[in-house]
């Protein structure tokens, strides 16, 4: 079953714009992770934020976590054509394995 | 260092057949997990193995089985294939104390 639900399902922006994707989940978590997937191939880990953290940065990525609302957002600043991919949030709680959402398909138009 | 490798890349089978997918983790990673990703969906957890023992199993029928070898590589076996088993099968490895997982490129299975 899917734990997270990403919003929007698809997003199309111009190169240089910022892209924001949201993720909502249902149960308490240990941490929330964001992954990127290019063209239906393997996933690449982007960033992990723990349940006691509220914001985290990595390069052009900024992730926020609101455990009271059970939601997270991923912001990609100054987007590039190479950022075109599907983005998934995934959560862990206790000793459970990663539970993924359905993903957001991002298209960055040059 | 080499990343997670999977073989084969693509596979076409017919209903009722059996398939074996293989995965080699990153050197030093003792945990291997398998996921099924149907088109348009996120990956769904199938199995996790650590030190050759099953640590977790997702909501998949008994037709799905897996094992981990002494060198930490792993096989996923699926018997009596159904059309609905058509998917991208992803293998991921991780360190025991870390939650982030490193994924292989996947095996695209098509069942006709």
3-class SS string, chain A: CCCCEEECCEEEEECCCCEEEEEECCCCCCEEEEEEECCCCCEEEEEEEECCCCEEEECCEEEEEECCCCEEEEEECCCCHHHCEEEEEEEECCCCCCEECCCEEEEEEC
- Tell me the residues of chain A between 1 and 20 that have a Cβ less than 8 Å away from chain B: 1-2, 4
Instruction: Provide the domain limits for residue B32.
Output: 5-111
User: How many distinct structural domains can be found in chain B?
Assistant: 1
| Whether A43 contacts chain B with CB within 8 A | yes
- Counting one residue from chain A and one from chain B, the pairs whose CB atoms sit within 8 A come to 60
Chain B: residue whose CA lies nearest to A89: B42
Question: In tens digits, what is the pLDDT along chain B, a chain of 112 residues?
Answer: 689 999 999 999 999 999 999 999 999 999 999 999 999 899 999 999 999 999 999 999 999 999 999 999 999 999 999 999 999 999 999 987 778 999 999 999 999 9
Neighbouring CB atoms inside 10 A of B105's CB total 18
Quick one: DSSP state of residue B16?
T
Rounded CA gap, B68 and A110, in Å? 45
- Whichever domain contains B96, its CATH number is 2.60.40.10
Chain A: residue whose CA lies nearest to B49: A97
pLDDT at B1: 60
Under an 8 A CB cutoff, do B41 and A31 touch?
no
Rounded CA gap, A30 and A59, in Å? 23
Under an 8 A CB cutoff, do A1 and B56 touch?
no
pLDDT at A2: 53
Rounded CA gap, B12 and A23, in Å? 34
Domains of chain A: 5-109 (2.60.40.10)
């Amino acid at each position: 079953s899917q734990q997270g639900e990403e919003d929007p399902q698809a997003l199309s922006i111009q190169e240089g714009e910022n892209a924001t994707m949201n993720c909502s989940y249902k149960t308490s978590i240990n941490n929330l992770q964001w992954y990127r997937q290019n063209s239906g191939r393997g996933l690449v880990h982007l960033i992990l934020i723990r349940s006691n953290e509220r914001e985290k940065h990595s390069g052009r990525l900024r992730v926020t976590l609101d455990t009271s609302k059970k939601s997270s957002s991923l912001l990609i600043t100054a987007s590039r054509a190479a950022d075109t991919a599907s983005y998934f949030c995934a959560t862990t709680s206790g000793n459970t394995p990663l539970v993924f959402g359905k993903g957001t398909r991002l298209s960055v138009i040059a | 260092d080499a990343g997670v490798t999977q073989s084969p890349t693509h596979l076409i089978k017919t209903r009722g057949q059996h398939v074996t997918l293989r995965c080699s983790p990153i050197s030093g990673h003792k945990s291997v997990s398998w996921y099924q990703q149907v088109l348009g969906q996120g990956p769904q957890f199938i199995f996790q193995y650590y030190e050759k023992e099953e640590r977790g199993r997702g909501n998949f029928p008994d037709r799905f089985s897996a094992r981990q070898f002494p060198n930490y590589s792993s096989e996923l076996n699926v018997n009596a294939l159904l059309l609905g088993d058509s998917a991208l099968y992803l293998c991921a490895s991780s360190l025991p104390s870390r939650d982030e997982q490193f994924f292989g490129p996947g095996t695209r299975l098509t069942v006709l």
